[in-house]
Amino acid sequence: MREWLALFSVLVLAACAQLPSAPPSGYALSGKLSIRDARQSQQAMFGWQASAQEDRISIDSPLGQTLAALTIRYDDDGLPLSALFEQGGEMVQAADDPEALLKDLTGLSLPLEGLRWWLRGEVSPFTPAERHEQEGTVTLRQDGWTIEARDFRPLGKRQQPYRIQANRDDLQLRIVITDAIDNPTSELPSAP
């Protein structure tokens, strides 16, 4: 169970980082996440719904059972007001410092700020970044990470990448989006 918690934490605590407002429009994504480092590799299904006021993230087993969920509420400047980590429908832990919580739960120390934007194939506008586009692949370099976004498909008025890979040192995150909704008004798309 600790492995699932570690995998969940990497994805969901990224939303807790002290971020400005959400990307210009909200989104909901679901898909598969893989995390690999020199010691281990883990996989899970996920759902992520983002808006300026709140993110709701769930991690599901391959059989569709929700293992954990995180709800993050933001103030008008996009800073987190609260982060509630739930497991089995009960609040397990709350945190003011998402990176410290991530390190405490998983032993991983990651800069989490950009993931909310990288999922859309965009750089976070709040730290320096490089962006290159070639033959359908967008490569971003930000905060020591190299991010490749590809398999872009129309989503509302923009293009959504369905395959994202982020690398730094020996850590690799692979995300495959299976369902995406722009400006969602209801629940997360279900994980496949």
Structural contact between residues 44 and 32, judged by C-beta atoms closer than 8 angstroms: yes
Q: Is the pLDDT of residue 50 over 70?
A: yes
Work out the mean pLDDT of the chain and round it to a whole number: 77
Q: Considering its fold, how many domains does the chain have in total?
A: 1
Residue 71 belongs to some domain of the structure:
yes
SS3 state of residue 5: helix
Tens digits of residue pLDDT in 7-23? 544 444 444 444 444 55
Indicate which CATH number applies to the domain containing 68: 2.50.20.10
Question: Between residues 5 and 27, which one has the greater pLDDT?
Answer: 27
Structural contact between residues 150 and 163, judged by C-beta atoms closer than 8 angstroms: yes
Residue 168 belongs to some domain of the structure:
yes
Structural contact between residues 74 and 80, judged by C-beta atoms closer than 8 angstroms: yes
Winning range, highest mean pLDDT, from 4-13, 22-31, 172-181: 172-181
> Measured between alpha carbons, how far is 120 from 115 in angstroms, rounded to an integer?
9
Residue 169 belongs to some domain of the structure:
yes
Residue 47 belongs to some domain of the structure:
yes
Tens digits of residue pLDDT in 124-134? 877 899 999 99
Q: Is the pLDDT of residue 163 over 90?
A: yes
Structural contact between residues 47 and 190, judged by C-beta atoms closer than 8 angstroms: yes
Residue 153 belongs to some domain of the structure:
yes
Question: Between residues 192 and 185, which one has the greater pLDDT?
Answer: 185
Rg, the chain, Cα only = 15
Residue 8 belongs to some domain of the structure:
yes
Tokens of 4: 């699932």
Residue 192 belongs to some domain of the structure:
no
Residue 32 belongs to some domain of the structure:
yes
The region that residue 68 occupies, defined by phi over 0 for left and psi between -120 and 50 for alpha, beta otherwise, is beta
Tens digits of residue pLDDT in 77-126? 766 677 777 777 777 787 776 555 555 555 555 555 678 788 889 998 77
b/e for 75-109, b at 16 or more Cβ within 10 A? eeeeebeebebebeeeeeeebeebbebbeebbeee
Domain that holds residue 84: 2-182
Q: Is the pLDDT of residue 147 over 60?
A: yes
